[in-house]
Every structure is written in structure tokens, then in C-alpha cells.
Structure 1
Amino acid sequence: MKLLVRADASVEIGMGHRVRCQALVSAFEELGWQCQFVMDRRYQAFGSTKDSFVDTEAQFWHVAEQADLVILDHYGYRAADIRRLYQHQPNLLVLDDMNDRGVFPAKWLLNPLSQDYSEQIEWLLTGSQYALLRPAFQRSYHSAGDSLSHVSQPNKLLITLGGTDPLALTLPILKGLLWSGFPKEDIQILLGANAKNADQVIALCNEQAIAYKQGLADVTPLMKQAKMAISAAGGTLFELACMGVPTVFAQVADNQTRSLEQHVPLGWCRAVRFDHVSDALRGQQVAYLVEALNRCWGDLQWQENASEIARRIVDGNGAKRVAKKVSAYFGVF
């Protein structure tokens, strides 16, 4: 059985689509599927040599027709675009977050948030049980529970603003923390391979003897060490929940709105919005975020409760659940 995944990546788009689809690919490959990513050739620098690259939609339609299943994770596709793709490949699984693209048909619709869709979707896969995490998070789920049982107490503040850090927030947040007097020995910076201003962040880390890593394939060891995190609110939200890490989220894109609307009221995280803020006001938002972090950092009871809440939400098995449900339709078990 052949599966194609359409998910572009770039500094502007981010790496989240690619990362969560890779989790799905791993789960489908375990069931014997042959999987391949398809990307717009303009973004091939962010892909793999194993990917297929297209220049036009007609080219993508052609390769889609040759597959048994197509997974679409792409905000550039509005309802009309998805309808056209569906005409070429009805075995279509669409990943969604905002439910704001209009009415469109699909065989399956996957959203880790609880939302309602039209009857043109044959099967809905919605809710946090379908959050797509890489296999490392499933393996780490129980060991994260061990740390909560005081076998190994996490003591770091993990700062991770996504694969590309599109708003270049790592540097001003780090400076704000240092200015506030936050202990630099407790800070762990995680930079994506394509993070903006990475050279400046690394220079400051070296100057201040702050721990940092860049371009890690497996981030679970750092999350296990994290007492709290400052993070972008994309797919990392579900990863941090799975690992039981209380977090102050920096919203850097509009498509993160719904997830924060559903998760902040649960009590395991806080959020500060940056995507609709002018450059002139961004420093003020950084100050709000640093203040929220410092307030939560000293509240050990909140941290304990937040960790327990977070781990109840996501168990790391979402990708396997999706792969098994979809494969059952094709008689693959």
C-alpha cells in the first residue's frame, strides 16, 4: 500500500506540519505501508532527498492518483482546493487545527482538538487521543511518570520556540529572563536547525554559560529534565503535555488559537500572544511572559497539579491510533 503525505515546510510555514506527519509516517510504516512526502519544490531545502517535489498542482494530482492514500497537512489548501484534490483521490486524510477553511469532503479528518465538522467528512478523528507525537514520546511516557514520582526531579526551564522560531523570540525572552534575575544555570535553550537569530542566541549562551542544544532529533531527554517550559504553541504543546511539563506558551501563529483556547482553561499552562502584536509592543509581551514564568516557577503546588493534568490529556499513542483506524479500512492490520 502506498501513502503520500503533502506537507510543506519553510521558515514562514514552520516545521510543525512536517514533524507531526513524520509521526504518522512512522506509525503507517510499522503496518507495512510505503510512505513518501510530497513538497513544493520551492521548499526542498527543508525536505529530504527521499521526498518527491512538484512544481504545480496538476503534478501533485497526478501522483496522488497513483497512491492508495493521501495525507494533506497544508494550510495553503482552502475548501475549494481540498475539493479538487478529493476528486483526484477520495482516500484523503486531512489534518486540521482551526476549522476555518469552509466545508470540504474527505474520507478522514484529523484534529487533536474537539471540534465539529460537516457531514461531508466520512470519519472524524478528533480529540487529544489523536495528537500526533513521534515514537520517542510514546517510549518516554511512563519514564516521565517516574520523574513525577520523585525518582528524578526535573529542575530546568526549557525554552523552545519551534523549528524556525518565526518571530525570533528566543533572544528577547532569554534577555528578559536574565534581566529579571532568573538563575541562568537553570536555563536550557533548544534551538531548531533553522531557527532565526540562532547565531546571536548561541553567542549569548556562550557568554553567559547557558546550556543550549540545536537541531536535536530526539528532544525527550531535555523535556524529562524540564521543571517548566517556555514554548511556541504548535505541535510542541502536545509533546510537553505528554511529558507532563507545565508551560508558558508564546503564541506565534493564528493556527495556535484554538489549541490554547482549549488547553489554558484546563490549568496546566499559561499563554501570551505574539502573532497579532506590532514590533513596537513585542517587548511588552515579552515582559508579560517573563513575569508569568517567574510567578509560576515558584509555585510548586501549581506545577505538581499542572503536570498531572497535562499527562492525563496526551499519552503519545495518537499516531498509532490513526494508522490502525485508517489501515483497517484497507484491510491492513
Structure 2
Amino acid sequence: MGYDDLKALARADASVDIGMGHRIRCQALIHAFQALGWQCQFVVQRRYDAFSSPEDTIVETEPEFWQLAEQVDLVILDHYGYSADDIATLYEHQANLLVLDDMNDRGDFPAKWLLNPLHQTYSKNVKFPLTGSQYALLRPAFLLQNSIPTTPPEKLLITLGGTDPLALTLPILKTLLMSGFPAKYIQVLLGASAKKADRVLSFCKENNIDVEQGLLDVTPLMKQAKMAISAAGGTLFELACLGVPTVFAQTADNQTRSLEQHVPLGWCRSIRFDNVSEEVRHQRIEELVEALNSRWLDLEWQENARKTARNLVDGAGAERVAKTVSAYFS
């Protein structure tokens, strides 16, 4: 069945401080809706237009957004700037509201659908909760790549998100090399807007470290990874899907719940950086590198970690959500 007459708006601002994760996972979701025939549009607040696309609708005020919301069939909201009261106000303008959430820390709010890739419990004001890793929103490339590599991966992938808000990449690289980790096994992946990217690129060149920046498709690099050091946003689910054992650097508070649920499963470790001073941060980088080195040669742990991770996320979350929501309109 086609849904060619149905229209959706997605609200997911992005910036150096907010990061790119909200935007990226909404893009995955929009792609899935468009594949079913929906007409979809991003709405971006003016102060975040540096991270928008030319085809996005830019709004100056929230009432402007509410007016647009009334004219479509569905609104997708992925925005931590929205409190429970803000969500309730938006719901008054558009009851067909799909809210994306991670932390479940805003109190009760109304929504037709609630999407959280973690197992969380929401109030009865949410009509249809979609919770658990089967709803993790990954880009289409991951659905095609979720297979076991034919050759054993040998790289350490270092990826600190689209913006690397705490500029951790360079100090992690320096500490790794000081620990004796071989440069030839390191693959750095920088987001297009990563902090201090020029210094990282220069350091990699001086030390013959492979580096890529702003890749549209990251799956080939992830498939080559024996292990990863990564930020713990949406990348957590991408790495799980491809079975990459990881030491996560927590760079934001909204990554807390996902790490609380995934670390005990045994496929990853985590070190927290977002709530400590600069001095403590340096100590924690050493802890992170030590955690990586202690597992780099532990092939039995890696094999178990890979199996556990792959069983958590199959890459079909966006398609699953789009079909579930679309069925409501049938």
C-alpha cells in the first residue's frame, strides 16, 4: 500500500553542542517513510540553520512550527530542548506525534507514538510505545551490511561523533601511541564538523595514521574494525549492528541510559567524560586506553562480544517504525 498523500514533518536541530545524532537518526526514519510513499520535510530553528540542508524549512519561532504541524499528518520530534510541557503544547496542535527519546527524564507527556531504542516504561499518555533495540534507527546501509566479514577485521576504529564536542580524538591518539599501540592498526573517522579536526588531520599525517573525514557511508570502516573507541550516541547501535566490540567514551548526559543497559551485556565498556574537569578527563583517557589495550589481544572476549552485539540490533528499526506508524493511517 502506498501513502503518497501523507505528509510528515521532522524536527531535529543539530549544532556543535547538540551534535549530529538527532538529525542522522531522523534522516534514517524519514528515508523509511519516503520508501513507503510519504512526503517528508525537516523543520529547523533559525539559530541552527548552519547545520541544515537547503531543502529544509526554517522557522523563527515555535508558533510558526505549530502552524506547520497542523497542516501535516504526522510530526516527528527528536529534540531535548522540548520539556514535557512543550511536547504537550505541540500535541495540542498535532495529535499524530511521534517523540524520539533516550533518557525518559522529562516526566509525563502525551504522544501518539514514543520511540526509545532502550527498554523504558512510559505513562498511559503515550498511546503506542515503541521501545527496545529492535527500534534503533540506523541508516539503510547498515541493513545491507549486517553480515560477518569474510576476512578477520584488524583495525581499531576511533570515532567520537559528528562534532567530537569534547575534542577527545587527539588526546586519545597521543595516549594510544605513547602506550605502544601500533599506528598501522588505527583508523580515525572524523565528523565533518569535528572540533580541532585540522590538528587531528595533521597529527595523523605525521604519524602515518589512516584518517577519513565526513564520510557519508561509514559502514565499510566499521566492518574493518576489530574494536572501536567511540562516543556513545547513535553510533552505539551502529557498532552493535556490525558486531564491533567497543570502549565507549561518554560525551553527553543523554548517553547514560544506553550505556547502563548495554555495558552489563558484556560487549562493550565505557568511561565517562562529560561530567568531569579537564584534569580528570586526562586521567580518564589513560583509563580508556588501558581498557582498550587489555582487550585488544583477548580474542575469546572479542568473539563473545561480537555475537552478543549482533543479536541486539538488526538494522531494520527505521523500516519497522515507519511501517508500524503507517499502518495506523491505513
**TM-score with structure 1 setting the length:** 0.97
The whole-number CA distance in structure 1 between the counterparts of 2:262 and 2:137 is 16
The alignment status of 1:102 with 2:107, answered yes or no, reads: yes
Partner residue, 1:199 = 198
Partner residue, 1:84 = 89
The whole-number CA distance in structure 2 between the counterparts of 1:322 and 1:6 is 17
The whole-number CA distance in structure 1 between the counterparts of 2:52 and 2:177 is 36
Partner residue, 1:60 = 65
The whole-number CA distance in structure 2 between the counterparts of 1:41 and 1:139 is 35
- Note the alpha carbon deviations across 1:223-265, whole angstroms, 9 max, x for none: 0100000000000000000000000000000000000000000
The whole-number CA distance in structure 2 between the counterparts of 1:269 and 1:215 is 25
The alignment status of 1:134 with 2:149, answered yes or no, reads: no
The whole-number CA distance in structure 2 between the counterparts of 1:281 and 1:106 is 40
Partner residue, 1:188 = 187
Aligned-CA RMSD value: 0.4
Q: SS in structure 1 opposite 2:240? A: helix
Partner residue, 1:216 = 215
Which amino acid is 2:120 matched to?
Q
Partner residue, 2:54 = 49
The whole-number CA distance in structure 2 between the counterparts of 1:296 and 1:101 is 37
- The match for 2:78 among 70, 73, 76 is 73
Offset, 1:280: 1.6
Partner residue, 1:12 = 17
Partner residue, 1:169 = 168
Partner residue, 1:303 = 302
Q: SS in structure 1 opposite 2:134? A: helix
Partner residue, 2:234 = 235
The whole-number CA distance in structure 1 between the counterparts of 2:83 and 2:296 is 41
- Note the alpha carbon deviations across 1:156-193, whole angstroms, 9 max, x for none: 00000000000000000000001101000000000000
Offset, 1:298: 1.2
Offset, 1:17: 0.1
Which amino acid is 1:26 matched to?
H
Which amino acid is 2:302 matched to?
Q
Q: SS in structure 2 opposite 1:53? A: strand
The whole-number CA distance in structure 2 between the counterparts of 1:133 and 1:273 is 24
- Note the alpha carbon deviations across 1:90-111, whole angstroms, 9 max, x for none: 0000000000001000000000
The whole-number CA distance in structure 2 between the counterparts of 1:118 and 1:214 is 42
Q: SS in structure 1 opposite 2:99? A: strand
Which amino acid is 1:256 matched to?
Q
Partner residue, 1:323 = 322
Partner residue, 1:288 = 287
The whole-number CA distance in structure 1 between the counterparts of 2:264 and 2:280 is 25
**TM-score with structure 2 setting the length:** 0.98
Q: SS in structure 2 opposite 1:108? A: strand
The whole-number CA distance in structure 2 between the counterparts of 1:47 and 1:290 is 35
Which amino acid is 2:318 matched to?
A
The alignment status of 1:121 with 2:126, answered yes or no, reads: yes
5+ long unaligned stretches in structure 2 = 1-5
Which amino acid is 2:137 matched to?
L
Offset, 1:138: 0.2
Q: SS in structure 1 opposite 2:229? A: strand
5+ long unaligned stretches in structure 1 = none
- Note the alpha carbon deviations across 1:104-131, whole angstroms, 9 max, x for none: 0000000000000000000010000000
- Note the alpha carbon deviations across 1:239-294, whole angstroms, 9 max, x for none: 00000000000000000000000000000000000011111211000000000000
The whole-number CA distance in structure 2 between the counterparts of 1:88 and 1:18 is 23
Offset, 1:45: 1.0
The alignment status of 1:28 with 2:33, answered yes or no, reads: yes
The whole-number CA distance in structure 2 between the counterparts of 1:92 and 1:178 is 48
After TM superposition, list the pairs within 5 Å mapping 1:152-167 onto structure 2.
Answer: 152-167=151-166
